Structure formats: structure tokens, C-alpha cells
A and B are shown apart, each in its own frame.
Chain A
Amino acid sequence: EPEVTQTPSHQVTQMGQEVILRCVPISNHLYFYWYRQILGQKVEFLVSFYNNEISEKSEIFDDQFSVERPDGSNFTLKIRSTKLEDSAMYFCASSFSPRDPDRVNTEAFFGQGTRLTVV
């Protein structure tokens, strides 16, 4: 069964450092997302990406964040200068089409997450 894969599973970084979280979405999917979950709290939307550009972003996704699809398979989230409050679980997700009324195509498949710890 196809799946979304994320690397690394756990990243520890010093405050102020740049981190890149990597995701390989399901191969025929067109829409890609990043979400984050601060420990014990709800899952929050960061950004969605379609056709090589950001299609939607939340207030959390400020100038320190960026996303990129550098090749045909990877989808990355970069945090330029990490802060303590960036410590969270980061989830990548992908879907074929969020608009399609076909139930299969609207489903967002999540990766297993990257736990980011900023110290």
C-alpha cells in the first residue's frame, strides 16, 4: 500500500539553527500539506502546496517557514531560525485532489511525523 514517508523521525536542533524536514508524498498525489502538533495539543494546518506553489497557508506559516518541491518526489519544510516554540511533531500529508467528490481522492494520507525538538 502506498504511503507518505517522512525523514528524519526525530530531529534535535539548537535554537537559531535551520532545519529541513523531508517528505516523500504518494507518487500520483497532487496536493501536499504540512501540519504541526505541539505536544498534547491539536493538529494545526501550516501550508498546502499544489502545482509548485503555495495554495493556502495559515497564520503560523510566517517568514521563517518555507516549502519546496526540489524534485519530482520530495516535499520539504524549512524552518530558517528555529525557536523553542517550534518544538512539535510535524506531519506531512498528501492527497490526489481535495475537491474531487470521489471519496478516495479526497482522503489526505499522513506520514508518520517528524518530532522536532529545539533546545
Chain B
Amino acid sequence: AQTVTQSQPEMSVQEAETVTLSCTYDTSESNYYLFWYKQPPSRQMILVIRQEAYKQQNATENRFSVNFQKAAKSFSLKISDSQLGDTAMYFCAFMRAGTALIFGKGTTLSVSS
């Protein structure tokens, strides 16, 4: 069975600084997708960034980028120039092709001024 592990329950960062959230996963599959979702206090689930396992290039979306290490089964999220609005819980998620998302336990990120 696939598992997703987020080893940092809480992180904090100052505005404008950079922070990296860790995620590891376990799978024997070769074709899969990885995601980072943001859940602000409103509890809406918002997709931040995705990575297809067959792509070697790391995904980027504006201030958000990932470090995808397929052999190490690692998928970390880097947030650059942190903003107060980035304060939220961040979930790493794994999906085999054709199946549902499997989420990690989440990392609560606090951005302070």
C-alpha cells in the first residue's frame, strides 16, 4: 500500500523568507502523480502544485517549487518570498493513475511579520 509521510507537524517562517516542507512517500508504482495542497483556516483544499513522476523536471508555480527526487521517493515544497497569506496547513498527496489521492498528515505553516 502507498503511504505518504510528512515529518514536520509545524513550521514557522518570517515574511519574505524561504521555507521548505518535506514529504516522502512509499510506492512500487512507476506511473504516479504527486501534489501539494494548501488548506487555509477556511478549510478549503486548494491545489498548489503537481508533479508527474515521469517528468524529471521539477514543477514550479510562481513562488512555489518542488524538489522531486524519484529514487529517494522525496517530494519537498519550497515556498519563496513567504507571505502572510501562505499561513495554512499543507498536505502532500500521492495518486496512482486511476485511483484516489492519498494524503500525508499535513504540516502547519505559520508566516509571521
Contacts and interface: CB of A to CB of B under 8 A. Distances in A.
A98 B44 contact: no
Contacts of B104: 42
Interface residues of A, number: 25
Contact of B99 (A44, A56, A91, A107): A56
B63 to A, nearest CB: 19
B78 interface: no
Contacts of A41: 105
B47 interface: yes
B106 to A, nearest CB: 6
Interface stretch (B13-21, B22-30, B90-98): B90-98
Contacts of B105: 41-42
A106 interface: yes
A98 B52 contact: no
Interface in A15-58: 33, 35, 37, 41-45, 48, 56
Contact of B43 (A93, A101, A113): A113
A112 B42 contact: yes
A44 B105 CA distance: 10
B104 to A, nearest CB: 6
Interface residues of B, number: 24
A108 interface: yes
A107 B52 contact: no
A15 B45 CA distance: 28
A45 B100 contact: yes
A101 B100 contact: no
A98 B50 contact: no
Contact of B100 (A37, A48, A112): A48
A113 B100 contact: no
Given A43-B45, A89-B43, A101-B52, A33 B100 contact: yes
12 contacts: A33-B100, A35-B100, A42-B91, A42-B105, A43-B91, A45-B101, A56-B100, A98-B98, A101-B52, A107-B50, A110-B44, A115-B43
Those 6 A-B pairs whose CB atoms lie nearest each other, nearest first: A110-B45, A43-B103, A45-B100, A42-B105, A99-B98, A42-B103
